[in-house]
Structure 1
Amino acid sequence: MRPLTDDETKVLFEKLAKYIARNIIHLIDRPDEPYCFRLQKDRVYYVSESNMRRATAIGRKNLVSLGICFGKFTKTGKFRLHITALQYLAQYAKYKVWIKPNGEMPFLYGNHVVKAHIGRVTEDIPEHQGVVIYNMADVPLGFGVSARSTVDMRKVDPTGIAVFHQADNGEYLREEDALF
């Protein structure tokens, strides 16, 4: 595992800022112990510094993963968040969308969220901003990108797309091989 370069860190933080805005600081400067981001092959892991130091005793070829996989860098240099980062995105999310029970299964099968499935949303969501999707019992189901602002969501017809799907908990089953 190696530290991220300045360019990689910039790309990662820009992606995270779409979902958690200035709360990125809470990921790094935690009260319990400091955490950091490390790169193993093309995957970015979020790991405590104490565990990272312990892992230096393991050879790079033998180390499969360490910490929580936040996502991976594509061949074009872009960063793609994985569903494994949902725990932290949900904890620090700025914009949230709650979906009704009849909309949970379509979302968990990888479909976009339509307006008819929305139970409630946080105010002032801008267009093309990262949102975390919850069910009505406040359980995080996944995340996506808002297709419209909050004001425009109210005007669209019930079958119009409100949130573009990015990742959901169903990926643990659908893409089991690609996540880790």
Structure 2
Amino acid sequence: MRPLDENETTQVFEKLFKFTGNNLKNIVENPSHEGSETKPGRYCFRMNTNRVYYVSESLVKRATNIKRDNLVSLGTNIGKFTKGGNFHLTVQCLNLLAVNAKQKVWLKPTSEMSFLYGNHVLKGGLGRITENIAVGDGVVVFSMSDVPLGFGIAAKSTQDCRKMDPNGIVVLHQADIGEYLRMEDEL
């Protein structure tokens, strides 16, 4: 485990900012429950091979006793760097994004399974949508009972969604909780 360099930190924060906006501050400054009450610990970002983890500082200190080759995972895996050097969020960061999401979309119960099978969100399956979503914004997808299902990129703005036909794509799928079953070998 090593700290992220400046370029890697910039890429991770830009991707998280796309989904959380100014709530990124809550993620970075989140106090850890480990440590003393007078001086609580903090969370930090660490990298192992090409994966980025969100982990408490006290856990990082305890993990220094383990050889790097033997350390498989630590904390919450929030994403990975591709061979081309781009950063991609993984489905494991969904809980972190859902709590701090700026833009949200709620699905009707009839279209939840379609999204969980890896399909895009269509206008006909849209239950609710937050105001002022712009094209290209990061969007967290919820069920109507506020259970986070996944996340994606807005294909249409909130205003355009009102005018489009029911088969138009509203959110482009990026990750969903169904990936735990579909990609069991890789995760």
How far 1:178 moved relative to its partner?
Answer: 2.4
Q: Secondary structure of the residue that 2:53 maps to in structure 1? A: strand
Q: Give the percent of matched residue pairs that are identical in Structure 1 and Structure 2.
A: 58
- The residue that corresponds to 1:176 in the other structure is 184
Q: Do residues 5 (structure 1) and 13 (structure 2) align?
A: no
Partner of 1:26: 26
Q: CA deviation at 1:27?
A: 1.3
Code of the aligned partner of 1:74: T
Residue 142 (structure 1) aligns with: 150
The CA RMSD measured in Å over matched residues stands at 0.8
SS of the aligned residue for 2:71 comes to coil
Q: What SS is found at the alignment partner of 2:186?
A: helix
CA positional deviation for 1:177: 2.6
Contact 2:53 2:74 in 1 (8 A): yes
Letter of the aligned partner of 2:15 in structure 1?
K
CA offsets, 1:155-174, max 9 Å, x none?
11100000000000000111
Is residue 2:159 matched to residue 1:151?
yes
The whole-number CA distance in structure 1 between the counterparts of 2:58 and 2:79 is 21
Could you list the structure 1 runs, at least 4 aligned residues long, displaced by more than 4 angstroms after superposition. none
In the alignment, which of 44, 51, 55 is matched to residue 63 of structure 2? Answer: 55
Write out per-residue CA displacement over residues 47-95 of structure 1, whole angstroms, 9 at most, x where no aligned residue.
Answer: 0000000000000000000000001000111111000000000000000
Aligned mates of 1:106, 1:85 — CA distance in 2: 21
Letter in 1 for 2:5: T
> Could you tell me how far apart the structure 2 residues matched to 1:97 and 1:134 are?
6
Unaligned stretches of 5+ residues in structure 2: 33-40
